[in-house]
Structure 1
Amino acid sequence: MTTVTSDLVRLYAESDALALAELVRTRQVSPGDLVETAISLIEALDPKLNAVVIRLFDLAREAARTPPEGPFGGVPFLLKNIASTWKGTPLTNGLGFMKDFVCADDSEMVRRIKAAGFLLLGRTNTPECGWSIGTEPRLYGPTLNPWNTAITPGGSSGGAAAAVAARMVPLAEASDGGGSIRVPASCCGLVGLKPSRGRITYGPDTVDLWFGSIAILCVTRTVRDTAAYLDAVAGPMTGDPYVAPAPAEGWLAQLARAPQQLRIGYTREAPWGPPFAPEVTAALEETLRLLESLGHRVEEHRLGVDLEQAWWRYNDINAVETAADFDRLAASVGRPMVEEDLAPFNWSLAHYGRSLSAVHYSESIAAVRKASQAIAVDLAPFDVFLTPTLTQTPRPLGYWSMEDGDRERYLARWSDAAYMFAFNLSGLPALSVPVEVTQTNSPIGMQLVGRHGDEATLLRLAQQMQDVLAWDRRRPAIAAI
């Protein structure tokens, strides 16, 4: 068995996923070396963070014995504990109700992840069923932020973000229905891309999720890892209801060319709720200066869509779909859910969903689709639109607890993430990049939004920004070496 030395840990912690795969290809390290290093870091660091809640280390060790293939051959990886199925392994969605559930098959995304060469170690913590931008499930307890354990790591991919920021793994699976890739990326100082509608398949067992508003991808420390991961997993299955246009050239290859002058719109206004926190405003202004120094043209623009109204309509869809999901999960487990099975917010959300008429549901779908159209039209003149990822700095741990059973009160707090869901319902690609860390060790992210199908412009701009800001060299208080 590999002896995990301090030199090996340092090499692992300082390398992104593509660099680790290159070390395997050139036989400077073995897949087993990387797996054992990842396991040692999880065992050492995770008691302080609670990010990795399902550990399947022996499966990773077994997989490491096979010569790796794919662009990420031999690189350790963690799945999120929601949705993606991995044959023969547990999946709980953060629910005690599902503690004995075992996946019958691999989802298409997991097949592609394996084909890319990743070695799966287990699953990361999520809030119960995901509709929270914190990560504090009853079943596993809260995940802590490696930058500052008093603040949230974000959610719902909070476990993934904490694990990547602490360098337990170089990247991890994340998914996003209202900011759940971008918010934890912002809170933990990472790169988080929500791709265009139709870029990622839900198949084969699921055809659609919230009318194409949910996206599955990853959180990373470097833009190039995000681009290469997108190259590895993107693309529809036959019969998918949404299909994004394929790029003429791979996203990783396109990073070699800096974008020409871009027209970048930006906003200084929150759609509703309190104004931007002073630290967020300062980070925005610094980002605008950076973009101008890179040769881009910035232009202030107030988004001309009532996002607050759209938010409540979007949550009508969420409530109905959540109630239906709970019924499907109950059928798979073999008994109905009762109130004690769910956090109070989720119980109230499902109850509300069941109370809505089919006519009301149809009206909410129509309103969301109209808002989607209006957002795309409003932003069409810009190559990129810039917003803060969150209007406030990361909230204290406990702020996003789902023990609050007042559905409207809980959802009203999401004004922090008012610029998140807008690009789920519109299907536009949106990328959070880590631009700042405050004096209180609170990371701040900025969101770059592009035209549908144009992840390439966002990634190329983000690479320009990374080259200057060197965020991949920042290290939180709790991290490998």
Structure 2
Amino acid sequence: MFKEYLRHDATGLATLIAGGEISAGEALEAALARMAEVNPRLAAICIPMEAIARQRAQAPLRGPFAGVPFLLKDIAQDYAGVPSTSGSRALRDWVPRQHAEIVQRFLDAGLVVFGKTATPEFALKAETAPQLWEQPTRNPWDLARTPGGSSGGAAAAVAAGIVPVAGASDGGGSIRIPAAYCGLFGLRPSRGRVPSGPDYGEFWDGASSQHVLTRSVRDSARMLDAIAGADAGAPFAIGLPERAYAEEIQRPPGKLRIGFSTESPLGTPVHPECVQAVMHAARLLTDLGHAVEPARPQIDGHALARSFIGMYFGQTAASVARARRLTGAGARAFELETRILALLGRSLSAGDYVDERLRWNDYARALGRFHQTYDLYLTPTTAQPPNRIGELATPPLQQAAAKVVLALHAGRLLLKSGMVDTLVTTSLQRVPFTQLSNLTGTPSMSVPLHRAPAEAGGAQLPYGVQFVARFGEEATLLRLAAQLEQARPWGGFRPPL
């Protein structure tokens, strides 16, 4: 057994394997042993692939991460011959025939995939508790709390030391939110930086980007080097970076102009520790020589949230329809909340959907004007610490009302009732900061710079801060992240699990 497995990031493991100090097989067995030790409590890994991994670990491997154990997210990261459920009972037995392009690039980088991580049904929530797997995924820092979503399984697995890096994706904060909740580094690349093919040109109308969750900045940078670039038939290709991201993190970021805000764009409460996380970051940035001051883009937060929710409705309806086409599943194969969201999506007219989609340009232009003055925008990653498991469950009375709405096909009536504005506030008030980056296509990151005791004497919890950069400027984010990691190292802080 490789006793020091937990101490190394993916880059460190790859170096040891390349130097012959350990073998890919030994690294895999260490990962499998850690999985056996902690996954029964975490429910992070939902689909094991041990036989596939053991066979691959014995083969000659090439690439920057040759031999490093790895986990895929169980949505849009299809592995040929292995079920791809998207967290839905409707897709429990659906098996793709080909690898997703990003999975092929993970394999080309030499990674050894030994499982898939849990995600909420169709990646729709910032909590990972799909009914498909019965047991909710838990946060290694506090098993009573969620690791977030939708990359919650990936975040729990990395934070708990099962793997140093895991596949993730972000359509509304699904990399950054779990990173903040689990004390990890999470980078969301620019729209189109990482391919979505071959099944999708752009996932969620371009709002979603795929990448990884990591403990170290260098792993994120080197992984982006391995997977970035348009694939054949992609709708567009964004400009290539000036140099490799692995090289960028060796360069100083220079003096950056950074505007920050701790106010929720929805006007809803922000937890004091989330505020403190930003204020501590602002002081650290100032000490490092950056120009930091209060500032925020001139964007109507409620309007942006409505645009996001409109896309959310439509994409849910399309996901349900696709799943039914693939498997012939009935309506009851989907979770109740998913069925309501799909009904609302079907009730939107094409004109309404396009009208909200066109508003994304307004937010991008406003953020662009902000970035004419400031290099980066700093906020809390989330407005609240991770919720306790079950805290956000739909009350029985609301469940009964939802079933009546479904029976009456009353989606259009709900849309006219003003319910959408209520849903915007209730569903996004815990995570109101992340959607800006998704609808504008800009790169962003969550950095784990703050820790504080949980309320009522609970376990210490990590808190992330978010930075949003101009479109295509992942290098700026990574250079700053490397500087922050050196100034306030977080890699040595591990959850009590």
AA partner of residue 221 (structure 1): R
Matched, 1:431 2:450: no
Retained in 2: the 8 A contact 1:267–1:302?
A: yes
- Give the Cα separation in 1 of the matches to 2:311 and 2:132: 26
Retained in 2: the 8 A contact 1:179–1:421?
A: yes
User: What residue number does 1:194 align with?
Assistant: 188
Deviation at 1:410, TM superposition (A): 5.1
User: What residue number does 2:435 align with?
Assistant: 421
Structure 2 unaligned blocks of 5 or more:
403-418, 455-459
- Give the Cα separation in 1 of the matches to 2:201 and 2:33: 38
- Give the Cα separation in 2 of the matches to 1:13 and 1:163: 12
Retained in 1: the 8 A contact 2:122–2:319?
A: no
Retained in 1: the 8 A contact 2:192–2:202?
A: no
Retained in 2: the 8 A contact 1:326–1:337?
A: no
User: What residue number does 2:352 align with?
Assistant: 360
Retained in 2: the 8 A contact 1:262–1:297?
A: yes
User: What residue number does 2:302 align with?
Assistant: 308
| Offset from partner CA, 1:276-332 (integer Å, 9 cap, x none) | 211112221111110011111102103210121121122212211221221112111
User: What residue number does 2:410 align with?
Assistant: none
- Give the Cα separation in 1 of the matches to 2:429 and 2:57: 44
Deviation at 1:337, TM superposition (A): 3.1
1:400/1:202 Cα in 2 relative to 1: closer, same or farther (>3 Å)?
farther
Retained in 2: the 8 A contact 1:346–1:402?
A: no
Structure-to-structure mapping, 1:41-440, within 5 angstroms: 41-140=34-133, 141-333=135-327, 335-338=328-331, 340-401=332-393, 408=420, 411-413=424-426, 414-440=428-454
Normalising by structure 1, what TM-score? 0.95
User: What residue number does 1:25 align with?
Assistant: 18
| Offset from partner CA, 1:74-120 (integer Å, 9 cap, x none) | 00000001111101111111111111111111011011000000000
Deviates more, 1:398-407 or 1:73-82: 398-407
SS in 2 for 1:461: helix
Deviates more, 1:354-363 or 1:454-463: 354-363
Deviates more, 1:317-326 or 1:37-46: 317-326
| Offset from partner CA, 1:340-395 (integer Å, 9 cap, x none) | 21222111100001111111112111122322322222333211111110012222
Deviation at 1:245, TM superposition (A): 1.6
SS in 2 for 1:210: helix
- Give the Cα separation in 2 of the matches to 1:379 and 1:402: 40
SS in 2 for 1:59: helix
User: What residue number does 1:467 align with?
Assistant: 486
Retained in 2: the 8 A contact 1:95–1:342?
A: yes
1:135/1:36 Cα in 2 relative to 1: closer, same or farther (>3 Å)?
same
- Give the Cα separation in 2 of the matches to 1:311 and 1:26: 50
1:402/1:325 Cα in 2 relative to 1: closer, same or farther (>3 Å)?
farther
Retained in 1: the 8 A contact 2:118–2:154?
A: yes
AA partner of residue 100 (structure 2): S
Deviation at 1:402, TM superposition (A): 6.6
- Give the Cα separation in 1 of the matches to 2:207 and 2:392: 22
SS in 2 for 1:235: coil
| Offset from partner CA, 1:410-464 (integer Å, 9 cap, x none) | 5423122111011000011000010112122221000011111110111110111
Retained in 2: the 8 A contact 1:389–1:419?
A: yes
AA partner of residue 277 (structure 1): H
Normalising by structure 2, what TM-score? 0.92
- Give the Cα separation in 1 of the matches to 2:177 and 2:151: 8
SS in 2 for 1:139: helix
AA partner of residue 432 (structure 1): S
Retained in 2: the 8 A contact 1:132–1:402?
A: no
- Give the Cα separation in 1 of the matches to 2:8 and 2:92: 35
User: What residue number does 2:409 align with?
Assistant: none
SS in 2 for 1:363: helix
Percent identity over paired residues: 39
Deviation at 1:242, TM superposition (A): 3.5
AA partner of residue 456 (structure 1): A
- Give the Cα separation in 1 of the matches to 2:319 and 2:273: 39
- Give the Cα separation in 2 of the matches to 1:130 and 1:67: 35
Aligned residues: 469
Structure 1 unaligned blocks of 5 or more:
none
- Give the Cα separation in 2 of the matches to 1:50 and 1:410: 29
Kindly report the root-mean-square deviation, in angstroms, between the aligned alpha carbons of the 2 structures: 1.5
Retained in 1: the 8 A contact 2:313–2:341?
A: yes
- Give the Cα separation in 2 of the matches to 1:437 and 1:125: 25
Deviation at 1:234, TM superposition (A): 0.4
